[in-house]
Amino acid sequence: MSRLVRVSMFVMAITLAIAPAPLRANEPLRFAPQRADSTTTAETCLAIAWTAAAGEPRRTEHVLHGMTHAWDVAPNQDQIAAAATRIGFDATWRSAPRGAAQLLLDELRAPTRQGSRSAMVELSRDHWRLVWFEPTDKTWKLLDPLSANVSSIDLQWLERHWLTASPSGESTRVWLSLTAPVKPAPAPQLTAHSRHEYLRKIGELRGRIRSRLVDADDPASPQPADFTILVERPFVVIGDMSESATRRWAEGTIRWAVAKMKAAYFANDPDRVLEIWLFDGKASYSRNVERLFGRAPTTPYGYYSPRNGALVMNIQTGGGTLVHELLHPMMERNFPACPSWFNEGLASLYEQCQERDGKIWGLTNWRLAGLQRAINADGVPTFRQLCETTTSEFYDDHAGVHYAQARYLCYYLQERGKLQAYYHAFRKNADRDPSGYRTLQKLLDTDDMAKFQQQWEQRVLELRYP
C-alpha cells in the first residue's frame, strides 16, 4: 500500500445501477455541444461510460470526433458534478484518506460482481482519463482524452499502471458515487461531425458555386451572393431563394423531419456531411443540377445521390419529396442491408405527413388512386413477391405499383402501431431474413398471408385521398 500513498488526483467512481436506466435500449446517444468547454466534455465522458456499461457501446469515433478541441480541458469536481446531474444521476461526493486507492479498486470491481456496472474518471492537475467495464465483450476500457484513444486493459494493468501513478504532490482521494438516476434524462446530443468538417464543406461549396454555377459572360448567371449556405446538422443546406426562405426549410421541414425520424427509427447520423440543394423552381433546378453534377435530373421533383453525397430538390414542388429523400441517407447509415421495397415504402409514407402525438405520421397521398386501380385489376403482387424483389425488379416497369404497395403496407402497420416494431425487428433479423417477409409474418402473427392480403386490400380500398 505504500506505493499508493503518493497518488495525487481526484477520482470519480460511478456505480451504474441496472434499472431504471436513463437510456432505453438502442436509444441514440447524440452530442452537439454549443461550446467547447470542460463541463460538456465531462458530460460526454459520463455518457460514454453509462451507455457502454449498460451494454449499448457507441462507435468510439462518433463520440470522440468533433470533441478534440475540448479534450485537453480537464474538468474540475464541480463541472463533473454538474455534468452528472444533467445526465440525471443523484450524485454524492465521498472521500477517503491517503493510501485508500485499494478501496477504490475494490469499489470498481464490486458492482461488476454484483451485476451492476462501474466506471471512474481520474483527474490530476493536467490530465484525466476514464475507465469502464464493457459487458458486450467482457473487457475493461480506458479512454485517454488527450490522445482521443480507447484501449482495452485488464485490472492487473489498472492496478499496476494507473492506481500506482504518482503525479506531483499528494492529496486525499475524492470520488463521486452515482446511484440509480433520479429520473430518465434525455440523452446528451452527439454529432458525428466536427465544426472543422462543416467549415471545410462550406468552403468547398462556395468554390463549387463559383467554378460551376457562376458564368461571368452570362448576365443571367447566378452570383455567389444568390446562394445561402446554412448548417443544419447533420447536413449543409444550400438554397438559391432568399435567406429567410432557405432558413424556413432548414429549420422547419428538415430539422423537424430528421428529429422525428431519429426518434422513431435511426440511432446514427450519416457518416459524412451531406449537402441539401434547394432550387427555387424548374429552370433553376434543371440548369444548376446539370452544371453541378454533369447530368440533367431524371425527375422533376428531386432525388438523393449517394455518389455525390447530395440531396437535390426542386423545392417549388413542395416538401414531400424532400422528406422522402431525407429518409434515404438515414436508412443508408443505420440499415444498409435494407431492401428497396422497404426503403422506398417507408420513405414514400412520409411524402405526406404530419405530427401526431409527438411522432411523424404518414397520411394518404396521391399514390392511393393508382394502387386502388391495381387492386381492382388484380395487378398487385403478393407480399412475398414484393419483399423478394431485387433492386432492379423493384424499379422496373411496375415501379409505380411497387412503391404504392410498399407505402400502404407501411401505412397499414402504422395504423396498428406496428411500424416501428417492424423496422427494428427487421433490422435486427436481416441476416437471417434479408427480405423481411418472415419478420412481417411473425409481426402479423399469421401463416395465412393470402388472407392477410385480402384484408389489407379491403382496407386500402376504403381509404380516401384527399
pLDDT of residue 104: 58
Q: Percentage of the chain surpassing pLDDT 90?
A: 53
- Among 402, 257, 401, CA closest to 330: 257
pLDDT of residue 141: 73
pLDDT of residue 159: 65
Q: Out of 134-138, 303-307, 411-415, which region has the weakest mean confidence (pLDDT)?
A: 134-138
The answer to whether residues 58 and 48 touch, using CB atoms and an 8 Å cutoff, is yes
In whole numbers, what is the pLDDT of the chain averaged over residues?
Answer: 76
pLDDT of residue 405: 98
- Longest CA–CA span in the chain (Å) reads 87
Domain residue spans in the chain?
2-181, 195-462
Class of residue 235 by CB neighbours under 10 A (exposed 0-12, middle 13-18, buried 19+)? buried
Report which of residues 58 and 445 the model is more confident about. Answer: 445
pTM summary value: 0.62
Peptide bond connecting 111 to the previous residue in cis, omega within 30 degrees of 0: no
Average pLDDT over residues 402-408: 98
CATH for 195-462 (1.10.3720.10, 3.40.50.2300, 3.40.30.160, 3.30.300.210):
3.40.30.160
Q: pLDDT tens, 214-262?
A: 988 888 888 898 999 999 999 999 999 999 999 999 999 999 999 999 9
Q: pLDDT tens, 315-370?
A: 999 999 999 999 999 999 999 999 999 999 999 999 999 999 999 999 999 999 99
Report which of residues 261 and 171 the model is more confident about. Answer: 261
> Residue 423 corresponds to which cell in the numbers above?
423496422
The answer to whether residues 313 and 322 touch, using CB atoms and an 8 Å cutoff, is yes
Average pLDDT over residues 260-268: 95
pLDDT of residue 197: 82
When pLDDT is cut at 50, 70 and 90, the band that residue 99 belongs to is very low
Residue 216, SS3 per DSSP:
coil
The answer to whether residues 277 and 212 touch, using CB atoms and an 8 Å cutoff, is no
pLDDT of residue 83: 59
- Whether 28 has a pLDDT exceeding 50, the answer reads no
Give buried/exposed letters for 129-165 (b at 16+ CB in 10 A, else e).
bbbbbbeeeeebbbbebeeeebeeeebeebeeebbeb
